[in-house]
Structure 1
Amino acid sequence: MTMEIQMNKLALAVIISGTMSTAAFANHHMEKIDSTFSSLDSNSDSMVSMDEVKETSISDYFSKMDKNGDNSLSENEYITYLQDSPESFSEDVKKQIHMTQAEVEADMDKVAKQSREDMDYRQKNVSATVEEGSSEMTQGMRSVNTEEHAMQSHKQDSMDHMEQDRDGDIARSSEQAGQPEGDVVARNEFDMLDENGDGQVTEKEASNAGVNETFSDMDSNDDNMITHQEYSEYRNSEEAEE
């Protein structure tokens, strides 16, 4: 009985060993996958159907790779099988996939870097715009204050001139009140000739008033200027001759 049991165990071990060897031999001699997912996806729908892999090396692996049993492979199923069974793929395919993944990661890094740079640029522009607006507002307020100050100064100057003119008129009126009529007339005529009110009449001012022919007669000291006294003396002498 014991001998029979031992013989049965030995026979079972031989059968199991043979089966495993056959499977290992079959797997060892299965053609390696030499196509990338993108090359298999002939219609570019991001899925690989059984029809698309019929005449490729991946057809023997299709059922193992199709984890959800929908008779189509997604890129995720393809990559998962590559990670779980890298020995089933050719070295060229593994290199291509590795290079593609590296390129994708590099592109993602570039996009992330560009996004950060764009964000920094926009933030700097916003800050610069805010600072510029604040500066323009400050300058505008300063300009308004300067204009208001200028207007106030001009107003004050105008008031001062008006007061000076009024005081001058009052002084002349007071001065003329006790003067002979001829002197008052002479003063008024002289003031009309004295365009800039500096107390002297130039040859040009006399010419503008049409009295340039008698200018030299009035200018008793030949300094090319006629004072009020010179004008009064000339006028009095003319009246005396008449």
Structure 2
Amino acid sequence: MKKLNYLSIALILLFIISSCKKQEEYVINDKLNPDEIINITSIQPGSFAADSNSKYIIRVQINSRTDSAVSVNLTTTSGLINSKSRSETMRVNVNRYADFILTAGQTPGPISLRASVLSTFFRDTILTFTKSYPDTILLHPEAYTIAKNSSVVANIQLIKNMGFPSKNQTIFLSALDISGNNIGRFTYTGSYSPGAVISGSFSPPTDYIGVVTLVTTVVKEDGGKIVGKNNINVQ
């Protein structure tokens, strides 16, 4: 009889221990705030330029009690994640975080990042990218001497030491005589695309002869200017 009682007590204790252990199992949405489930905990470095080149480490953290095999997803509205696409999935490490690498896009302004886990729980953040300006402007006419009453094409490149200037540059073309007065017609068609060559066309006034300076100017938001120029001779 005593053996039976001892056995019963042992089974009861085992049941209690098992029940306690089950209660301690982690449930990802069990009375947790959003920040305790998943969060974007750091972004390095902390200033952002839309230069199609700069890379930023985005750390996504999940609750420390989750299984280390859990995968998290990061999506962006601009740029590339891990040099592949705008949406990538990674498993967290033993410290319950995953580091994604975001490569900047071409367009300045706000972008949205979303970190999610189990396709249900997510956190959003917004990054504002500043406009990336050229360091140098190269302007090369296809001919440096032209006949009067003819036109010439000039190839223009906006050059940045690292990466590319952003989209939406404010670009002005002008042509000046030796006195600095505007002369003739210097224009380009289409819009600037990072890394692409702009094709401008210059036509001097009727029967004009002399030296003309072709000028390309990019105007910055703070009023600063980047200028590229070259001369042609009309004869």
**Structure with the largest fraction of strand:** 2
| Bigger helix fraction | 1
| Structure of higher RCO (CA pairs closer than 8 Å, 6+ residues apart) | 2
**What's the TM-score bracket when you normalise by the shorter of the two chains?**
under 0.3
Q: TM-score scaled to structure 2, two decimals?
A: 0.27
